[in-house]
Amino acid sequence: MLNKIPMTTPLVEMDGDEMTRILWQMIKEKLLLPFVDLKTEYYDLGLLHRNETEDRVTVEAAEATRKYGVAVKCATITPNRQRMEEYPQLTQMWKSPNGTIRSILDGTVFRAPILIDSILPVVRNWKKPITIARHAYGDVYKSVDLYTTEPGTATLTFRGVSGQEQTVTVQQVEGPAVWQGAHNKDSSIRSFARACFQYAIDTRQDLWFSTKDTIAKVYDGRFKAIFEEEYQEYQARFEQLGIRYFYTLIDDAVARVIRSEGGFIWACKNYDGDVMSDMVSTAFGSLAMMTSVLVAPDGTTEYEAAHGTVTRHYYRHLKGEQTSTNPMATIFAWSGALRKRGQLDKLSDLERFADQLEQACFDTLHAGLMTKDLAGLVEEGTPVTTLTSADFIDAIAARLKAALTAAHV
Ligand code: NAP
Ligand code: MG
């Protein structure tokens, strides 16, 4: 009999939607509960429960994350018009839970691919992972939009508490037009910069940062200037470690990234990071192999998969089909969170369990057992058995149990 690995402080657990909610349950049941005396504070961020609580549950989950320091989150639906038709009971087109959580916790999202030998990146020269550091606050994600139908002029006014005002004309238009007001804050950009420099030092990788400051001279120019200011404090440590910081325009960065070997952190503004992380993860193999962690300035961390709720698979699941949805990124969200909890609470067994869980995943993949998305990507000649999600998780569980039993003897 294996003794369950103890925990002291609870993890904040945020459940989610559709196929990932199904995987979430399987992962807990087969990979965690048999081995760990799992302590979580559970928040159901499933769309209908968010609706019932008027989205208070999302705010409560974010506040709990701040209290306990570590959270693990399942993918969730961000409702759009189509979802409003699909779920007629929705009283509002609720905002993205990730957006809400990010704006409460602030901080930076780091996304890195999980690499395995048998899957070569589409970009042949990529040898090492590329980590995308996505600024998690503001810009278009916290912007206001307006649609107008008559000729007229839009202005942008800032009213200071002192009573002073600054106004610029956005545009004069002759007909219907769309408008957007976006912002960011020095304090948030500064903590983004610091999180990136610190993460580069922790992982000993170069840091690239890109914006479009030739066009957005004031807006993006502010990002560039703050990064330069903050770098002064880290420069000596960068030089000691032989790593470097460099700034370039986003279009130049895109070209350089494609020509690179990988092995660096690419810091991006909120939208650039959203888009580029999907491109980078797909080129490395699969969205399902991309991990994501939100690091707040106070060290609070929230782990999740970078992909969504895998809707198309969920509809097949509802029809009674067994799907072959890849649980890797969701498993790694759990292992990341458990490892962090272990580090904070000085529970070395819990930390070791996180390593063993990840190793069991790698061993399973190396044995050629994988989900359909990966089976299509492995190098020719690699023997492959395509499994359903349930069978893949069972195969991982068997290896994990064997490793834990061997370590126990
Ligand atoms: P998605 O759920 O990431 O899925 C897009 C496609 O990528 C899938 O149809 C599937 O392709 C493939 N895929 C993604 N993850 C996979 C996995 N684990 N295993 C196998 N294949 C995988 O993106 P989406 O369809 O655009 O969005 C669905 C919902 O997720 C939306 O409601 C959106 O709001 C939400 N979303 C949530 C988050 C989050 O909570 N972090 C992030 C993004 C999107 P095939 O169908 O070709 O197999
Ligand atoms: Mg995205």
HEC sequence for 168-226 = EEEEEECCCEEEEECCCCHHHHHHHHHHHHHHHHHHCCEEEEEECCCCCCCHHHHHHHH
Tens of pLDDT along 126-168? 999 999 999 988 999 899 999 999 999 999 999 999 999 999 9
Please report, to the nearest 10 degrees, the dihedral formed by the alpha carbons of residues 338, 73, 306, 301 taken in order.
Answer: -60
Of 217-221, 241-245, 286-290, the one with minimum mean pLDDT is 286-290
> Is the model's pLDDT at 255 over the cut of 80?
yes
Tens of pLDDT along 99-119? 899 889 877 889 999 988 888
Largest CA distance in the chain: 79
Closest-lying ligand 1 atom to the alpha carbon of residue 325: 19
> Is the model's pLDDT at 1 over the cut of 70?
no
Percent of the chain with pLDDT over 70: 100
- Residue 178 · residue 141 · CB < 8 Å: no
> Is the model's pLDDT at 407 over the cut of 90?
no
The CB of 78 under 6 Å from ligand 1? The reply is yes
Closest-lying ligand 1 atom to the alpha carbon of residue 16: 40
Centre of ligand 2 from the C-alpha of residue 77, in Å:
12
Closest-lying ligand 1 atom to the alpha carbon of residue 305: 41
The residue among 383, 390, 388, 136 whose CA lies nearest residue 272 is 136
The CB of 310 under 6 Å from ligand 1? The reply is yes
- Over the chain, what is the mean pLDDT? 94
The confidence score (pLDDT) of residue 40 equals 98
Read off the tokens for 172: 């004069």
The CA distance from 32 to 40, in Å, is 12
* Residues contacting residue 318 through CB under 8 Å, at least 6 positions apart: none
The CA distance from 235 to 207, in Å, is 12
Centre of ligand 2 from the C-alpha of residue 274, in Å:
5
Supply the Cα-derived Rg of the chain in whole angstroms: 23
Centre of ligand 1 from the C-alpha of residue 271, in Å:
18
- Residue 319 · residue 24 · CB < 8 Å: no
